[in-house]
Amino acid sequence: MVAIDLIIRGATLIDGTGGVPFEADVAVAGDRIAMIGGVPEAVSAREVDARGLVLAPGFIDAHTHDDRAVLEPPAAMACKLSQGVATVIVGNCGVSLSPLLSDRRPVAPLDLLGDERWWRYDSFAAYAKQLAHRPPAVNVLAFVGHISLRARVMGDDLARAADASEIARMRALLEEALEQGAAGFSSGLAYPPARAAPTEELIEIGRPLEKYDGLYVTHMRDEGDGVIDSIEESAAIGRAIGCATVISHHKCALRENFGRSIVTLKLIDTAAKGQQLDFDVYPYAASSTALLLELLRDDLPVRITWSEPVPEAAGRMLDDLAREWGVSLADAARRLQPAGAVYFSMDEVDVQRILAHPAAMVGSDGLPHDERPHPRLWGTFPRVLGHYARDLGLFPLETAVHKMTGLTAKIFGLRDRGVIREGAFADLVLFDPGTIIDRATFDDPARRSDGIVELWVNGRTAWRYDGGPSPEGTGRLLRRYPAV
Ligand code: CU
Ligand code: ZN
């Protein structure tokens, strides 16, 4: 028999499959789950009395911008560790740290990952090497972003479609990254540096995804009036390439589109009958990204999350600042650039309808380097478990867990993760189902959630409620293994 290192006794297991909870002991040997059931005593093992608590697979954050945070010491990932997150998907919305070198602050939204100091990885292999050299706090699955590729190949000339030779170079860079372990290709077609790219550009760059079984993940061109066309475009790109596709942070933005999730979800369901098409969602009715002038409207409340020239604006409402300064919203926004913002642009009914859809995965879309971040950075997972599942009864707790573990692992191809079973990796989270809840708010956004007791990543303690993050990284860079 293998040497047992850890025994978690008497927890209620929610195993990530969506199946009914059951009580059992779990034994961990090395980085794997060795045994489930009545585990005999083992002399050298640490014993954890987990009666009254839930043991679930460590959560998988389906959508993050943690590309840089995972390169920093584990404390930089406290926002996720404290929620029970064991794995993050990075490189989303067309924005990835590799393959791009830059000695100046890159164009928004690339700069949400950092200023000129952070663009040092001219290949995916260089980024992967850094993660191997200093293991990240959590596991990482990484995408290569369309905007990063454009900035690399087209420089500052981004307000146009790429020509044939530029497309060929971007395709070659993507293929190289896939060869080196990237999980796929992401786009952020709503953003100015990508908006001029026609559908055909995405398809032609994305061709290597078919050969490598890579995923296409997309922050769509339009999440407001044009959301239907955008879903059709996303599905068409996936079909043309012949790859699985994930729609990022699905929403129906702006007042005139409230309620349209009935139609969008139906459209996704229909398309998904003929191709692999999935989506993630964060559990809040407000979005957050760079402060973009074209997003401003009189009826859209906007809160500043950071501003380079006016740091004290972080946390303030844009209209208050405009009034104080005696200028228009647009002029106030210009004065704050570069800057980030929260946009209160959604309807809670849509958020709940999307979240409750059986195919919906949970992803935070948190922005870890913002001065006053959207509370999704610190609160997403406990909010789904505590607020939406337990308090509102939107779905059973095991369904909530499935949306952040087994379902996500299946779609992103994370082999032996996202489930509690013998032989699977010991990514495990212990939490109190009675008290788990998010504490981060728009007014006080960096507050740690309640109810997460301990998190193990690859069999080792990554975070404890009464001890914080472990000083050494317990995660690793993962590869995608698509289901056959
Ligand atoms: Cu994003
Ligand atoms: Zn996005």
CA of 361 to the centre of ligand 1 (A): 14
Domain 58-290+343-416 has CATH 3.30.70.980: no
Structure tokens at 55: 């043991």
Find the helix or strand (DSSP H, E) in which 319 lies: helix 318-325
Q: What is the CA radius of gyration of the chain?
A: 22
Residue 484 has pLDDT above 60, yes or no: no
CB contact at 8 A, 26 and 11:
yes
CA of 239 to the centre of ligand 1 (A): 23
Q: Encode pLDDT of 53-88 as tens digits.
A: 999 999 999 999 999 999 999 999 999 999 999 999
User: 32 φ, ψ to 5°?
Assistant: -125, 160
Is 58-290+343-416's fold the same as 291-342's?
no
| DSSP-derived 3-state class of residue 106 | coil
CA of 37 to the centre of ligand 2 (A): 42
CA of 188 to the centre of ligand 2 (A): 6
CA of 65 to the centre of ligand 2 (A): 9
User: Cα(31)–Cα(229) distance, rounded to whole angstroms?
Assistant: 45
Which residues fall within 8 angstroms of residue 157, CB to CB, at 6 or more apart? none
User: Cα(231)–Cα(271) distance, rounded to whole angstroms?
Assistant: 9
User: Cα(194)–Cα(93) distance, rounded to whole angstroms?
Assistant: 10
- pLDDT of res. 58: 99
Structure tokens at 475: 């995660």
- pLDDT of res. 42: 82
Find the helix or strand (DSSP H, E) in which 255 lies: none
CA of 248 to the centre of ligand 2 (A): 6
For residue 189, give the ligand nearest its CA. 2
User: 87 φ, ψ to 5°?
Assistant: -145, 135
CA of 82 to the centre of ligand 1 (A): 20
Beta bridge partners of 9: 49
CA of 145 to the centre of ligand 1 (A): 11
Name the strands in the sheet holding 277-281, side by side, starting at the edge strand that comes first in the sequence. Answer: 59-61, 85-90, 139-145, 184-188, 215-219, 245-247, 277-281, 360-362
Structure tokens at 371: 């001065």
User: Cα(473)–Cα(45) distance, rounded to whole angstroms?
Assistant: 21
What is the fold of 291-342? Dna Ligase; domain 1 (3.30.1490)
CB contact at 8 A, 142 and 91:
yes
Taking alpha carbons only, the member of 447, 453, 422, 417 closest to residue 435 is: 453
CA of 415 to the centre of ligand 2 (A): 26
For residue 219, give the ligand nearest its CA. 2
Find the helix or strand (DSSP H, E) in which 123 lies: none
CA of 65 to the centre of ligand 1 (A): 6
For residue 218, give the ligand nearest its CA. 2
CA of 62 to the centre of ligand 2 (A): 12
Distance from the Cα of residue 334 to its chain's centroid:
29
Burial category of 437 from C-beta neighbours within 10 Å (exposed 0-12, middle 13-18, buried 19 and up):
middle
CB contact at 8 A, 365 and 373:
no
For residue 187, give the ligand nearest its CA. 2
* Side-chain half-sphere CA neighbours of 42 within 13 A: 23
CA of 44 to the centre of ligand 2 (A): 46
CA of 347 to the centre of ligand 1 (A): 19
Residue 482 has pLDDT above 80, yes or no: no
CA of 366 to the centre of ligand 1 (A): 8
* Amino acid residing at 431: F
| DSSP-derived 3-state class of residue 389 | helix
User: Per-domain residue ranges for the chain?
Assistant: 58-290+343-416, 291-342
Beta bridge partners of 278: 246
- pLDDT of res. 43: 82
Residue 111 has pLDDT above 80, yes or no: yes
Q: What percent of the chain has pLDDT over 90?
A: 98
CA of 369 to the centre of ligand 1 (A): 13
CA of 454 to the centre of ligand 1 (A): 27
CA of 219 to the centre of ligand 2 (A): 5
Q: Encode pLDDT of 454-476 as tens digits.
A: 999 999 999 999 999 999 999 99
| DSSP-derived 3-state class of residue 183 | coil
> What is the pLDDT confidence band of residue 136, given thresholds at 50, 70 and 90?
very high
- pLDDT of res. 239: 98
Model pTM above 0.95: yes
Pairing of strands 360-362, 277-281: parallel
- pLDDT of res. 1: 61
CA of 26 to the centre of ligand 1 (A): 35
CA of 193 to the centre of ligand 2 (A): 13
Range from 33-42, 235-244, 366-375 carrying the lowest mean pLDDT? 33-42
CA of 219 to the centre of ligand 1 (A): 7
CA of 315 to the centre of ligand 2 (A): 21
CA of 99 to the centre of ligand 2 (A): 19
Burial annotation 392-421 (CB, 10 A radius, 16+ → b, else e): eebbebbbbbbbbbbbbbbbbbbeebbbbe
CA of 186 to the centre of ligand 1 (A): 10
CA of 249 to the centre of ligand 2 (A): 7
Q: Encode pLDDT of 148-164 as tens digits.
A: 999 999 999 999 999 99
Mean pLDDT of the chain: 97
User: Cα(182)–Cα(427) distance, rounded to whole angstroms?
Assistant: 21
Taking alpha carbons only, the member of 342, 352, 348, 225 closest to residue 285 is: 348
Helices (H) and strands (E) in the chain, counts: 15, 22
CA of 140 to the centre of ligand 2 (A): 18
Taking alpha carbons only, the member of 84, 79, 124 closest to residue 100 is: 124
User: What's the average model confidence in pLDDT over 311-339?
Assistant: 97
Residue 444 has pLDDT above 60, yes or no: yes
Q: Encode pLDDT of 348-361 as tens digits.
A: 999 999 999 999 99
For residue 190, give the ligand nearest its CA. 2
- Examine residue 445 and say whether the peptide bond preceding it is cis (omega within 30 degrees of 0): no
Largest CA distance in the chain: 74
Q: Encode pLDDT of 232-291 as tens digits.
A: 999 999 999 999 999 999 999 999 999 999 999 999 999 999 999 999 999 999 999 999
Residue 9 has pLDDT above 60, yes or no: yes
> What is the pLDDT confidence band of residue 483, given thresholds at 50, 70 and 90?
low
Residue 3 has pLDDT above 70, yes or no: yes
More confident site: 37 or 38? 37
CA of 271 to the centre of ligand 1 (A): 23
DSSP one-letter code for 441? -
